[in-house]
Chains A and B, each alone.
Chain A
């Protein structure tokens, strides 16, 4: 199966190899309705569990319940960043644009999820510590992570050439991931307001486990949908550029024939 752009239905025949990059032949995936139904049912169940069933924590009280949203979203931020990292390596290895589309999709979801982590953390900090923000190691590294992926998206939007954008994005995506272990390990290796390890009552552990389900399903679903949209955009751009390239080759061929005559 060829991965050339010119295999698409719109592309002209006989111009294989005209383009400077390959798009790949992965079709845009579509998630079934039952997937989204499961996500929203799990989300509704998780919300009910937090507000109606899970007991309050003894020392922090009600404000501790932010934890059930905060932690699963934080873990999924790391998974989205890991997806960017793997897709960036995949692109540099195979030079297929679907890897780049996947990296861009995961980076967008990583930024949204990281924003939620920072915002929910701020509410928690205000309730528990009396301040909206502290420059503790984990908070600082988390803020740096958010900036790194926002810059990743800005950097991509500033580059017109598809191949160049993919290469620069892939290199940046690999470097940006280095902040994830720092966020993860900062509370364990450095003095921080965040506890390194948390012991929970069984009911709290169950609620936390239930919250992981909708947050992970939502993260995967958003990445898949965004990836599908990126694929369509890349394909439509590639198809128009293949016609442009075909036209320029045809023009050059006519000029050569005219010159020879």
Chain B
């Protein structure tokens, strides 16, 4: 067994598969970040909607002379 050939063989597999799997992991992380951003945006919108409803009902009550 030629040790230099073994080094090249292992090097080729480590670099080749490392690049493929590394790209896969980077993509998976990007998808996760995108999902988290979307979820937090959705939660913000829900909170804003709830606040609008609350503010609207208070204004309506004040117009009717109620506390």
Question: Chain A nearest CB: distance from B55 CB in Å?
Answer: 22
A191 adjacent to chain B (CB < 8 Å)? no
Q: Could you mark each residue 212-240 of chain A with 1 if its beta carbon is under 8 Å from any beta carbon of chain B, else 0?
A: 00000010011001101100110000000
B63 adjacent to chain A (CB < 8 Å)? no
Please determine whether A119 and B19 come into contact, CB atoms closer than 8 angstroms: yes
List of B residues within 8 angstroms of A146 by Cβ: none
| Contact surface of B with A, Cβ cutoff 8 Å | 1-2, 4-6, 8-9, 11-13, 15-17, 19-20, 23-24, 27-28, 30-31, 34, 38
How long is the Cα–Cα vector from A65 to B13 in the complex, in angstroms? 10
* Chain A interface helix/strand/loop/mixed: helix
Q: Quick check: which of A83-91, A95-103, A109-117, A134-142 contacts chain B, the rest being far away?
A: A109-117
List of A residues within 8 angstroms of B4 by Cβ: 127
Please determine whether A225 and B28 come into contact, CB atoms closer than 8 angstroms: yes
Question: Chain A nearest CB: distance from B12 CB in Å?
Answer: 4
List of A residues within 8 angstroms of B28 by Cβ: 225
Q: Which of A105-163 contact B (CB under 8 A)?
A: 109, 112-113, 115-116, 119-120, 123-124, 126-127
